[in-house]
Structure 1
Amino acid sequence: MFVFQWVWFIVLLPLPLLLQRFWRYSPENTTQYPYIKLITLKRAQQAFNQSNKLSTSTNQRLRMRLLWLCWLGLVLALMQPQLIEKHVTIQQTGYDLLLAVDLSGSMDNADFFLPTGERINRLQAVKTVLKPFIEKRTGDRIGLILFANQAYLQAPLTLDNLAVADMLARAEIGMAGRDTAIGDAIGLAVKKLRERPAESRVLILLTDGDNNAGILEPQQAATLAKQYDIRVYTVGVGSQENATNSGFNAKSLQEIASSTQGKYYPASDLQALSKVYTDIDTTLHKTTAESRLYLQRTLLYQYPLGLAMLALFGLQGLRLRTE
């Protein structure tokens, strides 16, 4: 479909005619100087330069046509012609998934081991397992919340799962504080998910501690999540031996998950953490999200602008020829 974005610019088209009509050259304001009328010269011109007169008249008409063509091209370019292709309707099958990752100081405890025997901390273990989980989420909108003393939206819901994985890889312990604001993290997730389709709202909360910071209590936040039909899957990260030292509260995470029709997963080692995401991947059922309309616009202003430039070149060539 061919349209003009600024169609009202067409009112500029008759502007030269209006200027010619209301702003004519008046000889009354010019100074009259005496001159000698050379009748002989005039007759000579009439006798021998009839062809020049015709040529001058033709050049004048051509000049006016080129001027009008130039003006037409400029006005059409200002109107921004564009070609709009057929609307494309896309329905995404998936769900809106927010990941809330704890960056408190206790996540620095190195109680996970890689298959090679190398010891890593809890955040590194989460990154190791969460990266392939994110990359497999084709068709799902994924967002990332990082929290400690406060909760921050690091990545909004997006289909670009590779960008979310990259932002998670750049997360560092302490960048949001040293304490744990679980309630604020859930509250922020509710704020971002409540406008999404009801059956596709999911929050995965990963933490190794109890709520000891923030404004919102975890149970209050869980009540809000239930009100907006947001399922919360909680993952308790850390070995059972260090649970007491880290202030880990498994009961609170279980209550949050059960009250929102989610599920609680204890993850005491890297293998258990991998099974957590495998279970979540098979438990969640994808739903059809809202339709999206795309408009493919192709700008065409360069063509009338090029026409105006050609007219200008023609005027210059005509001037050089008559000199």
Structure 2
Amino acid sequence: MFEFAWPWVFIVLPLPLLVRWLPARQQQQSVALRVPNLTDSLETQTSQPKLNYWKLLLATLIWLCLVGAAARPQWLGEPMSIPAEGRDLMVAVDLSGSMKIDDMQINGRQVDRLMMIKYVLSEFIQRRVGDRLGLILFADTAYLQAPLTYDRNTVTQLLEESVIGLVGEQTAIGDAVGLAVKRFEQKKDSNRVLVLLTDGQNTAGNISPAQATELAKANKITVYTIGVGADQMQVQSFFGTRTVNPSQELDEKMLSHIAEQTGGRYFRARDAQDLEHIYAILDELEPIARESRQMRPLQALFFYPLAVALVLSLLIAILPLAHSIKHRWRRS
């Protein structure tokens, strides 16, 4: 929708006529309101009526453009819904060496645990419209890959670029929770949620899971823990094919304790379908903010009439020169 932000500016449109109709004495006293090069030319060049006509026309158009620009023309786009209030949701993903165990399947294809997490988690991230999302990656230690942001595409891309062993081979679960607490401290008034995915037990780091749990409780951070890994897997050995439990090192007791103490829940993801179901449950437990406010993108258009006024000013400046050249050409 097109509109003028200051439509009252158009009350000055008759000003040039009022100035022109003032008595001669008042005009002489109001030199500041006159444009000598323009006004004098319009009044004195009576021998050139055609040239004066074009000058008057251009001057009128210039004045209209300047007043129109001063009224601040602008274009308002279609209304957009912006969430008025969301939540801060941090996702912590395990990059330890055990995440490369290929006991998962995606569309019938055998993949490792990290690949499965990326595949399912990306869709979950895209659904969190209105939430600030952050990404923590951890192994020997934990580090912040993406700070809390509304840019879901960037968080998804950084997740896709993560690789196993990037920060070591062990598992610092306590450090991951502690780092999330530290980042959440900078965001006070919001619902703060941490989703932690791991396939092992705490074997590294400077903070124990118990200490990290107390920190999360003190800062009112809800932690949802997800244990990743299949219960059974067929492996080839010198003695033939045998069935093993690839998730025997998963510390479910510790993960359950962290979740329960912080008001969250522990989930077990044995395959991609389990993980998709878990994310659906998380959408219900931590619903996306529905309240929204309307905003309309605004584009200023004042530079268009200003540009036209500039071009017309150049034309009115070269009119006498063009007229003189044309006159000499005819005489010659």
Please, what TM-score do these two structures have when normalized by structure 2? 0.64
Q: Report the alpha carbon displacement of residue 304 of structure 1 after superposing the two structures with TM.
A: 1.3
Residue matched to 1:273: 275
1:146 counterpart SS class: strand
Give the aligned residue type for 1:235.
I
Q: Report the alpha carbon displacement of residue 262 of structure 1 after superposing the two structures with TM.
A: 0.2
Cα pair 1:94 1:141 within 8 Å, conserved: yes
Give CA-to-partner distance per residue, 1:170-196, whole Å, 9 cap, x none: 322123443333233323333444526
Q: Report the alpha carbon displacement of residue 254 of structure 1 after superposing the two structures with TM.
A: 1.6
Change over 3 Å in CA distance of 1:154–1:85 after alignment to 2:
same
Residue matched to 1:312: 314
Q: Report the alpha carbon displacement of residue 75 of structure 1 after superposing the two structures with TM.
A: 11
Range with bigger deviation, 79-88 or 184-193: 79-88
Residue matched to 1:30: none
Give the aligned residue type for 2:138.
F
Residue matched to 2:323: 321
Q: Report the alpha carbon displacement of residue 321 of structure 1 after superposing the two structures with TM.
A: 0.6
Say yes or no: does 1:107 pair with 2:99.
yes
Identity %: 35
Give the aligned residue type for 2:261.
S
Residue matched to 2:165: 174
Cα pair 1:94 1:140 within 8 Å, conserved: yes
Give CA-to-partner distance per residue, 1:269-309, whole Å, 9 cap, x none: 44433333233233334455675766524232221122111
Change over 3 Å in CA distance of 1:270–1:131 after alignment to 2:
same
1:244-259 equivalent positions in 2, closer than 5 A = 244=248, 246=249, 248-259=250-261
Change over 3 Å in CA distance of 1:68–1:193 after alignment to 2:
farther
Moved over 6 A (4+): 56-77, 86-89
Q: 1:151 aligns with which of 134, 143, 146?
A: 143
Cα pair 2:137 2:145 within 8 Å, conserved: yes
Change over 3 Å in CA distance of 1:239–1:290 after alignment to 2:
same
Structure 2: where are the runs of 5+ without partners? 7-30, 36-43, 232-244, 326-332
Cα pair 1:99 1:142 within 8 Å, conserved: yes
Give the aligned residue type for 2:176.
A
Q: 1:2 aligns with which of 2, 5, 10?
A: 5
Give CA-to-partner distance per residue, 1:100-123, whole Å, 9 cap, x none: 11122221122224462x432110
Residue matched to 1:49: none
Cα pair 2:76 2:296 within 8 Å, conserved: no
CA separation in 1, counterparts of 2:126 and 2:207?
A: 32
CA separation in 1, counterparts of 2:93 and 2:128?
A: 17
CA separation in 1, counterparts of 2:217 and 2:71?
A: 50
2:322 counterpart SS class: helix
CA separation in 2, counterparts of 1:103 and 1:142?
A: 19
Residue matched to 2:47: 55
Change over 3 Å in CA distance of 1:287–1:310 after alignment to 2:
closer
Structure 1: where are the runs of 5+ without partners? 4-15, 21-51
Cα pair 2:130 2:288 within 8 Å, conserved: no
Give the aligned residue type for 1:267.
A
1:1-323 equivalent positions in 2, closer than 5 A = 2=5, 54-55=46-47, 81=72, 83=74, 85=76, 90-92=82-84, 95-114=87-106, 116=108, 118-148=109-139, 149-154=141-146, 156-158=148-150, 161-194=152-185, 195=187, 197-198=189-190, 200-240=191-231, 241-244=245-248, 246=249, 248-288=250-290, 296-323=298-325
Change over 3 Å in CA distance of 1:85–1:120 after alignment to 2:
closer
Give the aligned residue type for 2:226.
V
Q: Report the alpha carbon displacement of residue 197 of structure 1 after superposing the two structures with TM.
A: 4.6
Cα pair 1:237 1:267 within 8 Å, conserved: yes
RMSD value, Cα: 4.2
Cα pair 1:96 1:196 within 8 Å, conserved: no
